[in-house]
Structure 1
């Protein structure tokens, strides 16, 4: 007899066989379908769901291709034992990453499709010092659909955003020269600057972005070559730069001949996202363009893919590509091929946007109950604690309970803040349980702190 399992396909999108495969995958990961369990006979499940036997056959075949089940001739289809069923159930609120929903399936399908094209694989395994034009075209089309205007030849690929940052600084600057960055800032910019012998000078943040008066003063004082920004979703404060800010910063950069690195790696929900500064800069004369746009699929799909990309004005392309090649002879075309197949999949975001929005709403409610000043965007939240409670007390107490969060000090911010990233849990029940622990811990520490005072 087959397992009594009848999924609700209304919770999923796409073709019916894809919905059924995703439902089975989720059931296997959650333990609803245990290792070695036999899936329902195809005709029985088809009758229950009101679909054709062919739909169930295609779903089971896809599950077998993805490595979740094994078909045994004359016996049926069984769930394969796997390490993921014994995975660590702790939630990491310190690392900014997407919740895992359909990424495994999307990547598995892309790999399976690629494996069936030996001639293409042969081409991808060869040396390609330059990006393949077809890869540039596919990324260009994807960016146009996101309302980011550019030409495909302006796209340069990297192995993640950090390599992009290092390559820009390495290609445009020399040791001893100055760059400006946000006062509370992604630590990777400081790591790259230190490695290259550059001097990084912070500029204070306001609720709209940079302090423009201070920015101009430091442009005059330090004569920087580069300004590093995260204007769409400032890391870690979740500030989004206003339109006035963006236009004013571009005007200052042109006047003082400063190149802007616009880091748009941090994920935003669709209704939070803003067309980047790169697009504003495109309205100018090409010789005046000063914005280099940097992003990746790390915070949108998964960090392990390591697919970054830059949009570069033509006058800077040569020196930055040379800097990329100084680190690696070429960016893997095989990796970029997989990335292209992923972004071409119309369902590559799955239900993650709805999931992130729901988690974000739960966190905002928690912050309100705790009466904390907070700012949320995409996968991150920035919460300011009330004295006498200190951020390092909360970080330490939660670490002892197996929950990791970030201290504002990690970003050179000393305003008694913590950063929570909400994508680490693969299970909504687990996420809510861990969130309850975070809230109760802050409450308990608040009481203890006041009692000591």
Structure 2
């Protein structure tokens, strides 16, 4: 046991693992193995810290993590206890696969995908679940979702983007989805036609566009960028020669390059769309919530053909699986029908959860803390990588690093992984026949400690400064 009258002590010497995570894992294992029993009191923070040779802050942080997970219960003035569980209930969290939600982090720095730090949103979601479990009437828990059951979420979403320049719309123009990716798939399934449809994407772009095209039996062609954004001459040629029906892009934040399409270029692209009748899906999932837009959405510029898509996954929590599509004029009923055919819509358990969270007074402070942590990591990375070509924004949870002569993207990615840092190369975002770009994307993973993140970036810096002799220049 961890208590003072036992010889059992937690083992926290795992190489590369933050001490508080190692301690939290040791307590988890003690609970699951039965060495720590329900209702048992753990030692005071300072006592355990002294016994195992760590700081009180390390113990306090481990206790806090396990309290958030529901494994421990803290009573003011009473101490910290193993949470009581019903004898007949086995939690899914007690299965070996769920022992440690961050089990893949100790000896490697995972910078593959943006992940939000815990800044209070976990408590908001937990409180919302508890409130809804009490407030929902039986009928809410028995029926299929509909355009009636998700109205609260659509209204909450509309209020949340009141200052976003996407053109006039009301809640009837908003369609809920199972995340931003689901919205993109449904839009393509709504607008594509013919036996061999073609969509265009940015030459370096989010892989979800290509996945959505596969699900929609569409071919994909790429549009290169210049300093202002997608090349309109190339796009026009693809429309004429390839029969492009939809252009999928991200005007505010191109993933992975962190570049923004200028307002004049957006107007050129919108004019092309209107001239040829092609749809534009504007994916706005990568700009952090409550940060400023740099230009108008394609929906504002081409109201009959522009689609606006976003979700809270990259700004609040990836576990909150809901997305929103704002349809062009006269297209909302078509997309709503696709949604019904697709999955009958998003369950009220999720739409009401979203609406409840968005109405909480604490949410703005939570978002500010999330954004501040992301900005802190971005600034640290830019400082460490000083002297190399990095495209970045404090409002975006990833960076684009162009590699110096001597490095190729695939080799750099592999060497980084061998050194314990996981990143994505330009090849992960390119079409099969696309141009080779010697660059990598570094995602901000807020679930990695800031010091661990900075150490990973320093590893990349050391690699950049020491290119392998085997690579020809």
**TM-score, scaled relative to structure 1:** 0.78
In 1: Cα distance, 2:232 partner to 2:253 partner: 18
In 1: Cα distance, 2:411 partner to 2:247 partner: 34
What's the counterpart of residue 127 of structure 1? Answer: 144
Change beyond 3 A, Cα 1:424–1:74: closer
Contact map agreement 2:115 2:447 (CA 8 A) in 1: no
What's the counterpart of residue 217 of structure 1? Answer: 237
What's the counterpart of residue 364 of structure 1? Answer: 382
Return the offset for 1:111: 1.2
Write the deviation string for residues 269-324 of structure 1: whole angstroms up to 9, x where unpaired: 7566335414633xx7xxx6211101111101122222111000242223222222
Return the offset for 1:181: 1.4
Answer yes or no: is 1:309 the counterpart of 2:312: no
Return the offset for 1:207: 2.0
Return the offset for 1:387: 2.3
In 1: Cα distance, 2:260 partner to 2:270 partner: 16
Write the deviation string for residues 319-359 of structure 1: whole angstroms up to 9, x where unpaired: 22222223212221211111222222333415111111111
In 2: Cα distance, 1:233 partner to 1:105 partner: 29
Contact map agreement 1:37 1:78 (CA 8 A) in 2: no
Answer yes or no: is 1:163 the counterpart of 2:182: yes
What's the counterpart of residue 14 of structure 1? Answer: none
| DSSP 3-state at the match of 1:410 | helix
What's the counterpart of residue 352 of structure 1? Answer: 370
Runs of 4+ in 1 over 3 A off after TM superposition: 27-32, 37-40, 63-66, 71-88, 145-149, 268-273, 447-450
What's the counterpart of residue 384 of structure 1? Answer: 402
Give RMSD over aligned pairs.
3.3
What is the aligned length?
Answer: 399
Write the deviation string for residues 373-403 of structure 1: whole angstroms up to 9, x where unpaired: 2211311111111222111222111212332
Return the offset for 1:447: 5.3
Answer yes or no: is 1:105 the counterpart of 2:123: yes
Q: 2:278 aligns with which of 231, 236, 258?
A: 258
Q: Which moved more, 1:128-137 or 1:380-389?
A: 128-137
Contact map agreement 2:299 2:305 (CA 8 A) in 1: no
Q: 1:328 aligns with which of 326, 340, 343?
A: 343
| DSSP 3-state at the match of 1:144 | coil
In 2: Cα distance, 1:401 partner to 1:72 partner: 43
What's the counterpart of residue 435 of structure 1? Answer: 457
Change beyond 3 A, Cα 1:124–1:275: farther
Unaligned runs of 5+ in 2: 1-18, 28-41, 47-62, 85-93
| DSSP 3-state at the match of 2:465 | helix
Correspondence list, 1:9-158, <5 A: 36-38=42-44, 67=70, 69-70=72-73, 75-78=78-81, 83-84=99-100, 87=103, 88-89=105-106, 90-119=108-137, 122-130=139-147, 131-144=149-162, 146=164, 149-158=168-177
In 2: Cα distance, 1:161 partner to 1:29 partner: 32
What's the counterpart of residue 219 of structure 2? Answer: 199
